[in-house]
Amino acid sequence: MAEPATLTIRRTFPRPSAAQLAPFQSAPTGWVVDALGRRGALPHWVRPISKVTRFVGVALTVRTRPVDNLAPYAALKFAVPGDVLIVAADGSDSASVMGDILLGMARNAGIVAAVTDGLVRDVAGIDQVGIPTFARGLSPNSPFKDGPGEIGLPITLGGVSVNAGDLLVGDIDGVVVVPFARIDAVGRELNAVADKEAQMERTVADGACQPGWLDTVLAGDGVRFVD
């Protein structure tokens, strides 16, 4: 019987065009979530580790054994400029799966950000590398490079499914996943979200103490006063 493969790699998959990414370039993650129907963000514990946090890019998915980073290193071979290295490590807190050397090579390969539900290390070096890095936390513990792992196949981080080619948007508030099939529709919806946000900001600037719809809700049948 043949030994199981150490790495399983999907080398090609659809990626969104620059035109499809354009509406997201300046959109805050909160706007993207609203355009998605109020969902889509990775869990709050996948948080910024680096000083720089803003990015828009395409998911290059990796699944790795929690204490191993062979697959993340191998993924660099198949990266396209504009990709985001997103690594599922089962939320492990045993060892780091990325550090400044791997991330420096990732930057050199054109990768614009790195995201993992595992741990990273070398914070000072990561800031020198200069690409946004999000993780569950930090540990100086070192990983092995034995595998197994997968590249370019579907992964799950904190209950959120990510497919290679999905759009990822990150900033100080977190990371949002826009499924490939919904990129165009969500991009169009961002215009309406931007208009709504601008209107609400004008209302606040004009001195409003409450939203305009609140009195209607309080006067409705769904509210019972007990005084």
- The answer to the question of residue 86 being in a domain is yes
The mean per-residue pLDDT over the stretch 176-183 comes to 98
- pLDDT score for 1: 58
Read off the pLDDT of residues 14-58 as tens digits, 9 standing for 90 and up: 999 999 999 999 999 999 999 999 999 999 999 999 999 999 999
- pLDDT score for 143: 93
- The answer to the question of residue 112 being in a domain is yes
- 3, pLDDT greater than 90: no
- What would the two tokens of residue 216 be? 């209607």
- The answer to the question of residue 201 being in a domain is no
- The answer to the question of residue 158 being in a domain is yes
Range of the structural domain that residue 121 is part of:
7-194
* Number of structural domains in the chain: 1
Query: 């909160």: which residue's tokens?
Result: 30
Beta bridge partners of 135: 47
Which CATH number does the domain housing residue 37 bear?
A: 3.50.30.40
- The answer to the question of residue 2 being in a domain is no
In sequence order, the 6+-apart residues with CB closer than 8 A to the CB of 109 are 76, 79, 81
- 2, pLDDT greater than 80: no
pLDDT band of 92, cuts 50, 70, 90: confident
- The answer to the question of residue 153 being in a domain is yes
Mean confidence (pLDDT) of the chain: 96
In sequence order, the 6+-apart residues with CB closer than 8 A to the CB of 86 are 59, 60, 61, 62, 114, 115, 116, 155, 157, 162, 168
Rounded CA gap, 110 and 93, in Å? Answer: 28
42 contacts 160 by C-beta, under 8 angstroms: yes
- The answer to the question of residue 215 being in a domain is no
- The answer to the question of residue 207 being in a domain is no
pLDDT band of 4, cuts 50, 70, 90: confident
